[in-house]
């Protein structure tokens, strides 16, 4: 069984599940098998195990690793704008206060 320091993806335990799919595409069968064994013996997350099994099947059918850098910054971190969100109270819509059910002043309620 592999230990945390022997894993092909640095800081694997702290990677978001969403970025694992793209990162495992950069790995070959041996490295992916190592990660799969580690995942099964630790967190055993169904979606992660399933994605790794699917990728291993693809590699067995002739798929090639994508050639990307598995230690590259996560896409989630790169996607956020430098200035932060442009949403503010000034750009928010009007408050919504729907009428209570059974309110006789509600025109859509039968009388």
Q: Residue ranges per domain, the chain?
A: 4-63
Task: Please give the Cα distance from 44 to 37 (Å, whole number).
Answer: 9
Per-residue pLDDT, 18: 85
Closest by CA position to 35, among listed 24, 45, 26: 24
pLDDT 10s digits, 32-63: 999 999 999 999 999 999 999 999 999 999 99
Instruction: Tell me the average pLDDT across 95-104.
Output: 66
**CA–CA dist 51, 47 (Å, integer):** 6
First and final CA of the chain: distance in angstroms?
70
Find out whether 103 and 96 touch, Cβ atoms under 8 Å.
no
Whether this model's pTM surpasses 0.85:
no
What are the structure tokens assigned to 62, written together? Answer: 């002739």
The answer to whether residue 110 scores a pLDDT higher than 80 is no
4-38 pLDDT tens trace? 678 998 888 888 888 888 899 999 999 999 999 99
């Amino acid at each position: 069984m592999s230990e945390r320091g022997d894993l092909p993806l640095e800081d694997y335990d702290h990677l978001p599940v969403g970025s694992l799919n793209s990162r495992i595409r950069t790995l070959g069968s041996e490295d992916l098998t190592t990660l799969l064994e580690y995942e099964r013996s630790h967190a055993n997350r169904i979606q992660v195990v399933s994605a790794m099994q699917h990728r291993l099947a693809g590699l067995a059918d002739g798929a090639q690793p994508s050639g990307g850098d598995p230690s590259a910054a996560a896409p989630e971190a790169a996607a956020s704008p430098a200035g932060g969100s442009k949403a503010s109270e000034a750009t928010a819509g009007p408050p919504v206060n729907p009428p209570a059910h059974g309110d006789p002043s509600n025109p859509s309620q039968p009388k």
